[in-house]
Amino acid sequence: MSQGPGDPAAVGGAEPAVDSPEAALAVAEEVLERALRGGATEAEVLLTAEDSALTRFANSEIHQNVAERSLEVNLRFVVGSRVAVIGTDRIDPSGLRNLVGRAATIARSCEARPDWPGLPAPQPAPGRAPVAWAAGTAEASPEFRAEAVREIIAEADTAGVLAFGSFSTDSEIIAVASSTGIRAAARRSASQLLTVHTSPDGGNGYAEAVAMDATTIDARALGREAAAKARASDNPVDLPPGDYPVVLEEYAVVDLNDMLGYVGFSALAVQEERSFFEPGKRVGSELVTIVDDATDPVGLPTGFDYEGIPKQRVTMLEAGVCRDLVYDSATAARAGRTSTGHGLPAPNPWGPFPLNAVWSAGDASRDELIGGLDRGLLVTRFHYTNVVHPKLAIVTGMTRDGTFLVEGGRLVGPVRNLRFTQSYVDALAAVRAGGRERRALRGMLGATVVPALRLEAWTFTGATQH
C-alpha cells in the first residue's frame, strides 16, 4: 500500500512497511496500545496484508491478468459490555488516530450486551505450527500462471474444445493482538487453478486444484481431465426424474461438505436449534469420518483463527456418529467450553465454521466406484444449491459440467443436467463406498480434502434445459 505526496495519509506521517509477520504484529500492538489509551476496557486488533494475483482465460485465450496488494486493520473496541468493530486500510499515525477515535465514539453509543463474554484469553497451541506458506506461491509471476494456462489450452486444442477459467495465487500475512494477551502472527499462501471446457456439441467439463504451493499443481492433467469430460458429455439426452444410485465426484462432495458445515457442525447452529447435530447420534454411514484439521498439508494449513486462537483438530463425524462441533469464543462461552480456533473476523453474525474439513478416504478406485452401479448416475458437480430445511439439511440444486448414465457398471452416455432436492444427512447415511484418492478443493467454507463417494440413492426432481 502506498500514498502519493498529496494523499491524506502522507500528511500524518509515513506508513510502516508490513512485509513480515513481525512487522504486522508490531502495527497491531501499536493499534492496541492506542485503543487502551483511548478508553477501551478491552481491545482486539486483526491485521491482514495480502498480495493477490489472478490470470483469467476465456475462449482459449488469456484475457486478464490482475494483481492487488491490500491491507486491513480490524479493531474490536470494547467499553464495559459495549462493543464496536471498525476497520481501516491506513496505518499512518493520522489514520490510526482516526480509527481509534471513531471506534471509541461508536462503542460508547452502542447498546450494552448483557451476554458479552469478554475477549478470549490465550490458549496453548496443540502442537507445532503447520507450514502454511510456500515461496512458490508468493513469488508466482504472470508468466508462471500463463505457462500453466498454456498447458490447459493445449489439452483443449487437442480435444477440439474451448477452455475457460482462472489461476489465482495469494500470499497473506496475518497478525492478532489483544488486551487479554493474545499475540499471533504468521504467513500463509493459497493457489487455485480451475477450468471449464466447452465443446461445440454441447458438452462441458470441469477440473480444479487447490494447493498451498502453486508449483505443485499439474495444469496439464487438469486440462486433460476437463477436455475429456467435455467431449464425453456431448449431445446429452433426457432422463426422467427419480431416485438413482449415484457416484459423486470430489467436486460434488465439496457441496455436501459446505452445506453440512453450514447447517450442522457449527456450534451456533446447534445453539440456535437449527442443526441436525446430536452428540452420539448416528447420522451417516460408518464409512464417513469428517474432521476439521488445519494442520493437514494436503489442504490449506493455518495455525490460528481470526481471534488468534490456535486451531484445534475437531472430529465432527466419526464413522457416521456425531462427535463434536467447532466453536469460536462467543459460542464456547455460552457452552462452558474453550474455543476450538474457528473464529471469523469480527463482527461475525454467522458463528464458527469448519474451514479445513478433511473427509476419510475409502478403498475404491474411480472405476470400482462406477462399477458398483447397476443403473445410476455419475455426477461431476453441483451448482446453485440452496438450503430448503436447515434442521434436516435438505438442499436443492442442479448438476453441472458432466452428468452420465451408468448401466452395468459402465458409462453409457451423458444426460441433461437434473434438478434435485435431497437431505444431505440422508446422503451421509446412503454412502456405500469411498474413493481411495482425495483432492484438495475450495468451497464456500474454505478448503476441504474430499474423496469421491458412491451413494445408494439420490433424489432428482426434474430436468433442466441444458
Report whether 154 contacts 109 (CB < 8 A).
Answer: no
**Average pLDDT of the segment spanning 293-298:** 96
Q: In this predicted model, what pLDDT tens digit does every residue of 79-115 receive, in sequence order? A: 999 999 999 999 999 999 999 999 999 999 999 999 9
State the Cα–Cα distance between residues 319 and 362, nearest whole angstrom. 12
**Average pLDDT of the segment spanning 174-198:** 98
Q: In this predicted model, what pLDDT tens digit does every residue of 190-217 receive, in sequence order? A: 999 999 999 999 999 999 999 999 999 9
DSSP string, 367-409: HHHHHT-SEEEEEEEEEEEEEEETTTTEEEEEEEEEEEEEETT
Provide the sign of the torsion angle of the four alpha carbons 388, 460, 442, 145, taken in this order.
Answer: negative
CATH topology of domain 135-174+185-232: PmbA/TldD fold (3.30.2290)
**25: its cell numbers:** 504484529
**Average pLDDT of the segment spanning 409-436:** 97
Q: In this predicted model, what pLDDT tens digit does every residue of 333-389 receive, in sequence order? A: 999 999 999 999 999 999 999 999 999 999 999 999 999 999 999 999 999 999 999
The helix (run of H) or strand (run of E) holding residue 67 is strand 61-79
Of 7 and 232, the one with more pLDDT: 232
- pLDDT confidence bin for 4, thresholds 50/70/90: very low
**377: its cell numbers:** 448416475
Report whether 337 contacts 329 (CB < 8 A).
Answer: no
pLDDT at 146 over 50: yes
Q: In this predicted model, what pLDDT tens digit does every residue of 5-44 receive, in sequence order? A: 333 343 445 677 899 999 999 999 999 999 999 999 999 9
CA 466 to chain centre: 28
Q: What is the pTM for the complete model shown?
A: 0.94
**361: its cell numbers:** 478416504
pLDDT at 463: 82
**415: its cell numbers:** 444426460
Task: For the chain, give every domain's residue range.
Answer: 135-174+185-232, 242-463
pLDDT at 13: 53
**Average pLDDT of the segment spanning 423-428:** 98
pLDDT at 178: 98
- pLDDT confidence bin for 235, thresholds 50/70/90: very high
pLDDT at 15: 74
pLDDT at 11: 41
